[in-house]
Amino acid sequence: MKTMNVRGAGMPTRRSWLLHIGARAGAGMMLQAMGALALATPSGFQAPQRLQGAPRGARVLVLGAGMAGLVAAHELRAAGYQVQVLEYNQRAGGRSWTLRPGDVHTELGGVTQQCRWAPGQYFNPGPWRIPHHHHALLHYAQLFKVPLEPFVQVNHNAYLHARGAFGGQPLRYREVMADFHGELAELLDRLAPAAALDQPLDGIDRERLRAALRAWGALDGEGRYRSNPGRGDRRGWAVPPGGGRMSVEQPSTALPTDALWQSGLWEYLADDQSIEHQTTLLQPVGGMDRIAQALYASLKPLVRLGARVQAVQQDERGVRAVWTDTRTGTTHTSTADACVCTLPLSILGQLDVQVQPAMRAAIEAVPYASAVKVGLQFKRRFWEQDEAIYGGISHTDMAIGQIGYPSHGLGSHGPGVLLGAYVWGPNAFTMTGMSPAQRVEVALAQGAVLHPAYRKEFEVGMSVAWHRVPFTLGCFGQWSNDARARHYEALTAIDGRLVLAGEHASRLPAWQEGAVLSALDATSRLHAHLRATMKGAA
């Protein structure tokens, strides 16, 4: 084929071709094609600098001992500040929280649940995974020698399920992925010769692109998927390869094309292609709160647990926090030269806090997302023993949303705890209105559609509805684009002697990395401000 050096009528442009791929297959396939055309490049990360030379005798008050507060306290103390931390709970960590046997959780309304997992079992009602590129959080795990292990995000043997597709039967992730990729790759391979971009595809680019499509979709030399016996390596076998004189392997039957496209199950495939969900993901050995607890252990003399902040006042002389001891009911006042406030905005907005109108408006502009998690303990790890699912996540369009299988203790005997529901949006509000026992029942009833052994093997369950958690009143700060454009600068500004930090004051909401980066940024700017305004700077 003759190569054209000018844009010709009817020729495929790179932009239109990639947009066509992206519209049909999502970001993952578009990035695959961009890689073949050498258009995609990774981004980097620069670690923050360490603080040095605090003004002599300077004191900083930190409100909240979640990840943002703990990191802020650690860095400020290292810089030479006198630090005090006030924390509402009787533990540090905030939403970085792990429920273990004997723990007690009382939600708004007074309903109390006691964790009755078997010894050694645990459940993370908040964050449960660490992406490979969350370098700031991983830095503190390494600094405090917290051991990590792999977190399995994508398991091709887990299930995808939609009530209106394939008779409501769950399908293996690999079956949907292989057939969707194969069908789409075959379609695009057929379209490639006639496709049209800003720069025309020359012969080399087109052949590279078609080679990428055929490798990605497991197509044969003729660009066909269904007639290709090699598809068994992607979607599985009707008769698997054996040894000796066992039966000759036979590929499994592909799903009907029309039913596959109409099912919408392929939409789940994109969920695991965001950079936050790409392998390798990690988790602390023994529970997500291990990093927070390691930080807390190093800061313990500085942290006052059971301190419920009621008001934050500031003037030219300093900052004062009025707080109540939740154990005795007595009221106290803590003073400092400055304050790093990491309280969730859902809490802070209800307090008497002396800030400028712009910051007050910013605090009140951000609602908190609703989410519910349900943990279920079973007598045995039947998902491994019966269904060969070792870690990973199954997705469903039922209210429970997801079933997450533990990545630790693989192959072990005895009880196991899995994530029986991870609920967002309207379904989360509905389940928040239920009792803990009702939430567990929903998780059992819907989970049994994917796993018939649920009822027989079930032992105990526990749920956390984040809008009923007293110390957050929601899961995370849910910025709209308009609210962020109007209020983010004010929210992250230094207001007199006060600066805010937390996932809500970051561009990575809901992630611990956002909280850590926010704390590092806030303390760095506050440190520079104090050195410039206080006498006796070192």
Among candidate residues 297, 299, 345, 342, the one with its CA nearest the CA of residue 321: 342
Task: State the pLDDT at residue 27.
Answer: 43
Phi-psi region of 123 (alpha: psi -120 to 50; beta: other; left: phi over 0): beta
Q: Measuring CA to CA, how many Å separate 169 from each of 26, 164, 315, 452?
A: 25, 9, 64, 12
* Residue 370 · residue 466 · CB < 8 Å: yes
Burial of 375 from C-beta contacts in 10 A (0-12 / 13-18 / 19+): buried
CB burial of residue 79 (10 Å; 0-12, 13-18, 19+): buried
Radius of gyration (C-alpha) of the chain in whole angstroms: 27
Q: Residues 471, 473, 478, 484: is their CA dihedral positive or negative?
A: negative
- The residue count of the chain comes to 538
CATH number of 97-172+254-288+369-471: 3.90.660.10
pLDDT of residue 271: 82
Domain boundaries, the chain: 51-96+289-366+479-538, 97-172+254-288+369-471
- Beta-carbon contacts of 231 under 8 Å, excluding residues fewer than 6 positions away, are 178, 182, 218, 225, 251, 254
Residue 314 carries which DSSP code?
Answer: E
Alpha-carbon torsion, ordered 175, 179, 185, 190, to 10 deg: 170
Gap between the Cα atoms of 498 and 509, Å rounded: 21
Residue 280 contacts by C-beta under 8 Å, 6 or more apart in sequence?
132, 150
Tokens in use for 147?
Answer: 């051991």
By CB atoms closer than 10 A (0-12, 13-18, 19+), residue 96 is buried
> Strand 498-500 to strand 338-341: parallel, antiparallel, or no bridges (unpaired)?
parallel
Contact (CB, 8 A) for 344 and 473: yes
Q: For 374, which DSSP code?
A: E
Phi, psi of 514 (to 5 degrees): -60, -40
Report the candidate in 489, 494, 443 with the shortest Cα–Cα distance to residue 464.
443
What distance lies between CA 484 and its chain's CA centroid?
20
- The neighbouring-strand residues paired with 59 are 82
Query: What is the token pair recorded at 165?
Result: 């597709």
Cβ atoms 93, 65 nearer than 8 A? yes
Residue 105 has a CB neighbour count (10 Å cut-off) of 19
Instruction: Using the Cα atoms of residue 95, residue 96, residue 98 and residue 102 in order, give the sign of their dihedral.
Output: negative
Paired tokens of 241: 């390869």
Q: Do 97-172+254-288+369-471 and 51-96+289-366+479-538 fall under one CATH topology?
A: no
Handedness of CA 232, 236, 238, 243 (dihedral sign): positive
C-alpha to C-alpha distance for 63 and 312, rounded to whole angstroms: 10
Kindly report the three-state secondary structure assignment for every residue of 280-303.
CEEEECCCCCHHHHHHHHHHHHHE
Compute the C-alpha angle 513/514/520, nearest 5°.
90
SS3 letters across 162-199: CCCCHHHCCEEHHHHHHHHHHHHHHHHHHHHHHCCCCC
The encoded tokens of residue 240 equal: 């698997």
Specify the pLDDT at position 35: 42
Cβ pair 94, 64 in contact under 8 A:
yes
Give the pTM: 0.88
Tell how far CA 519 is from the center of its chain: 19
Ordered per-residue pLDDT tens for the chain, 538 residues: 333 333 334 444 544 444 545 544 444 444 444 444 444 333 233 666 789 999 999 999 999 999 999 999 999 999 999 999 999 999 999 999 999 999 999 999 999 999 999 999 999 999 999 999 999 999 999 999 999 999 999 999 999 999 999 999 999 999 999 999 999 998 888 877 765 444 555 655 777 888 888 888 989 888 889 877 778 888 988 888 889 988 888 888 999 999 999 999 999 998 888 888 998 999 999 999 999 999 999 999 999 999 999 999 999 999 999 999 999 999 999 999 999 999 999 999 999 999 999 999 999 999 999 999 999 999 999 999 999 999 999 999 999 999 999 999 999 999 999 999 999 999 999 999 999 999 999 999 999 999 999 999 999 999 999 999 999 999 999 999 999 999 999 999 999 999 999 999 999 999 999 999 999 999 999 999 999 999 755 4
CATH hierarchy code of domain 51-96+289-366+479-538: 3.50.50.60
Six-digit token pair at 260? 């596959």
HSE-up (13 A, CA, CB side) for residue 45: 12
Tokens 């049209």, residue located = 196
> Which whole-number Å values give the CA distances from 479 to 198, 210, 343, in the listed order?
36, 41, 16
Alpha-carbon 327 to chain mean position: 34
Between strands 416-424 and 237-239, the pairing is unpaired
Task: Provide the β-strand partners of residue 418.
Answer: 376
For residue 299, give the nearest of 102, 67, 104 by alpha carbon.
Answer: 67
Contact in structure between 440 and 376 (CB atoms under 8 Å) = yes
